[in-house]
Structure 1
């Protein structure tokens, strides 16, 4: 999850009637009238469905949470995490999770938050310094060091410490994980966070006067939050009034506003930036989306691969292209989009009727479109090599004529997933780290390919997420054997 260093362009592309959002004067008026504004979004409720948690990919930084054994560093297909079963964590099942670049947060049904992965930025919310250290043999060859065991405390899921217990009826309803920071949203709209934000030059900080936050701390500038989403090193929050706030690193305009160098630390405090009447927000590493209550879609941030679904007036893309402010995206508006999943330079969208759209970077096959099916809108570099698809394009699962519909999507830095309406998972994209979950691969996965393995064979997968080089899913065991077998036969026929 490393940002490409490219020359920045200040002018954002305006194509096909793309328009800016409301003026600063409107912003000031709305904020001064905040208490009188109606609620347009409902508060989230706590999830209750226990999930079996599966992990796979490369876990050299403890990302898989399978314990300290060196044998857990590479898992080629989904594997049940034995530390997160109901029996292991005290008869409390995992009901939700959020995946960061190199760590994971998981929520149990008793309001406990579990964490695992690298803890360099204190993102795990617990002390891992006392972990059992595996001493290296003095005679061991340097090349063998990578085969050593992992940090036991980081590689084993543990409860976040000092997470506040609010009123009995106030529950944790959402988790968010950036590369270096963690956050939780409570059902009363409060947000707590810990860790730090980073930027191109290194550590940026947690707040103006806090470089790194070790324990969960309330973000006092936020109230009535109904949704929280994470980028690589920034966060977005949506409140009940339909207003969006952003904070963290804004070097690629992912905060929806210009951050002057001399005021860079001011970006560590949540601020609104002109988005109102919003019902849903989403973020990739460096680009973001919002959908308003009129089904209009806005995007901002890094766009050099067309990941925001916008080109310039000539239909071209530029290295370092930036959309500096929330901008209307005509090709995504009025399409009944219910979910976005964004990677480093690509985007997926799920529509209400179960179709999956994909666009953005192509060279690692992130968008799941075979080369012989690339649309005319495909952008090629000066050498004629396919570089990206900036126009949202419907992707297909199994036989082209099959009617497979999706209920959820997920994206890592350069790999992607779609969950079908009956809980099967299709994967595609960068394959070197085993992150697609398809076993040993000779290269990248060009088109959506169904994950076939014993561990998830009889599971209805409900939720999926991914980081830089690993992935996580959660599912419910199908207890009706006949139903499970019928489902397998259905997809074997679809994938022939």
Structure 2
């Protein structure tokens, strides 16, 4: 996802006791003998209107090739998907996958790593005429095939897709029988890492044999996690920040291109940020691991550039909150509880965590100049209605209330917050209110590096009026 050059240097650290979960040391056979604790979910079937907004200079918005679609400052209905009946989607760093009710998969965005699973190299692309004085068309039109949703080919037609997943450079789908197909590649600090040990870039969907009986996928920047029916977590991709839950030796780096378990079991749910990961166990404990220099793992010890939580470690302040889902970006995290509360932690300087300056907790970590740098302890967001779903981009956040209203906050220069032309960072959760979505019940949101996407069902006039009346009463 988009990396932003706003860094701080820490000169102090705080400590907090944490409980570490040791590697089980189980053999493959002992993992096979574990009891089944998870079920493969059913395919989604509610047809959604799809709205997109943000910066689409890499074709992320899927609004076609015209240069004027490169910046969309408020949610806009995607006309190419209007009659397709989209039921699910996933936003990667610079591309999106969308599943329709006919079990067809659509893709759009940057195709440098063949994440779209279709050839876009010969598509029409119009560059700007040097004599053209139109200041709004600085770079000319976009690649027509990448900027327009197109169908992915090569997937099994007799099995329903129950989840789609996207990293920065890879796409994947989970099927109803627990199989996983993927395509694209993984990158690392040195460049392209590869797809498998004998494949640099996979251009078409390929079955991943190591993923069997999978119930959920969770994608990071350049890694992916899989959870199976027995509660075993598997990791695949780049592990240079310990996001694979184990130490990766340089001489064995290519071994990470084969998904494998790393000793984490009894898990009911997984999630991932760009370089850090989460798991919720069957008894409700929240575990985290990976990059933690801003406390984005929810663990407040050793907050310095490059700090790592090397093994899955209990986030004790969340384990009694009945957390049901987690969304994370590059340096921040949101955790959603069963009662609809959001707990936020991580980087502060672009307002990613949505906490007002006056409400920052005592645990706030400050830089050498006394400016707030991060909040490493999960902190409840105030002045929000009951929330039913969350999503996080690289440096911005989204939440949807039980009434189907979307809120956003965080980095604003790319317009991914969807709040209009100001382009300013948004400190606290703010309602996304515009003509395109005001009469919709938003059911699903997603966020990439510099763009956002939502899906909703249109309400009747009576339902819209009733919802607005309820909001006015709550504000009074």
SS state at 2:117 partner:
coil
Question: Given the alignment of the two structures, is residue 82 of structure 1 paired with residue 71 of structure 2, yes or no?
Answer: no
Counterparts of 1:394-433 in structure 2 under 5 Å? 394-397=380-383, 404-433=385-414
Q: Which moved more, 1:156-165 or 1:179-188?
A: 156-165
Tell me the CA shift for residue 375 of structure 1.
1.0
Tell me the CA shift for residue 38 of structure 1.
1.7
Question: Given the alignment of the two structures, is residue 19 of structure 1 paired with residue 5 of structure 2, yes or no?
Answer: no
Residues 4/431 of structure 1: CA separation in 2 closer, same or farther (3 Å cut): closer
Tell me the CA shift for residue 21 of structure 1.
1.7
Between the aligned partners of 2:261 and 2:212, the Cα distance in structure 1 is 12
Question: Given the alignment of the two structures, is residue 154 of structure 1 paired with residue 143 of structure 2, yes or no?
Answer: no
Match of 1:95 in 2: 87
Tell me the CA shift for residue 139 of structure 1.
5.0
Tell me the CA shift for residue 271 of structure 1.
1.1
Counterparts of 1:163-312 in structure 2 under 5 Å? 163-165=155-157, 167=158, 170-312=159-301
Aligned partner of 1:48 among 45, 48, 66: 45
Match of 2:470 in 1: 490
Between the aligned partners of 1:258 and 1:35, the Cα distance in structure 2 is 24
Residues 423/173 of structure 1: CA separation in 2 closer, same or farther (3 Å cut): same
Match of 1:322 in 2: 308
Aligned partner of 1:112 among 104, 124, 127: 104
Match of 1:133 in 2: 125
Between the aligned partners of 1:384 and 1:454, the Cα distance in structure 2 is 42
SS state at 1:78 partner:
strand
Aligned partner of 2:353 among 338, 357, 367: 367
Question: Given the alignment of the two structures, is residue 351 of structure 1 paired with residue 321 of structure 2, yes or no?
Answer: no
SS state at 1:327 partner:
strand
Cα pair 1:46 1:172 within 8 Å, conserved: yes
Between the aligned partners of 1:14 and 1:22, the Cα distance in structure 2 is 20
Deviations 1:242-275 (A, max 9, x none): 0000010111110011111111111111011111
Tell me the CA shift for residue 23 of structure 1.
3.5
SS state at 2:344 partner:
strand
TM-score, structure 2 as length reference: 0.95
Cα pair 2:276 2:291 within 8 Å, conserved: yes
Q: Which moved more, 1:343-352 or 1:483-492?
A: 483-492
Between the aligned partners of 1:451 and 1:145, the Cα distance in structure 2 is 27
Between the aligned partners of 1:493 and 1:157, the Cα distance in structure 2 is 41
Cα pair 2:52 2:452 within 8 Å, conserved: yes
Match of 2:448 in 1: 467
Cα pair 1:397 1:449 within 8 Å, conserved: no
Match of 1:401 in 2: none
Cα pair 1:13 1:323 within 8 Å, conserved: no
Structure 1 unaligned residues grouped into runs of 5+: 399-403
Question: Given the alignment of the two structures, is residue 377 of structure 1 paired with residue 366 of structure 2, yes or no?
Answer: no
Residues 360/197 of structure 1: CA separation in 2 closer, same or farther (3 Å cut): same
Between the aligned partners of 1:303 and 1:455, the Cα distance in structure 2 is 38
Tell me the CA shift for residue 35 of structure 1.
3.6
Q: Which moved more, 1:256-265 or 1:440-449?
A: 440-449
SS state at 2:138 partner:
helix
Counterparts of 1:57-72 in structure 2 under 5 Å? 57-72=54-69
Question: Given the alignment of the two structures, is residue 441 of structure 1 paired with residue 422 of structure 2, yes or no?
Answer: yes
Between the aligned partners of 1:284 and 1:291, the Cα distance in structure 2 is 15
Between the aligned partners of 1:111 and 1:373, the Cα distance in structure 2 is 46
Tell me the CA shift for residue 141 of structure 1.
8.6
TM-score, structure 1 as length reference: 0.91
Between the aligned partners of 1:256 and 1:142, the Cα distance in structure 2 is 51
Between the aligned partners of 1:95 and 1:244, the Cα distance in structure 2 is 26
Tell me the CA shift for residue 132 of structure 1.
1.4
Residues 145/80 of structure 1: CA separation in 2 closer, same or farther (3 Å cut): closer
Cα pair 2:183 2:205 within 8 Å, conserved: yes
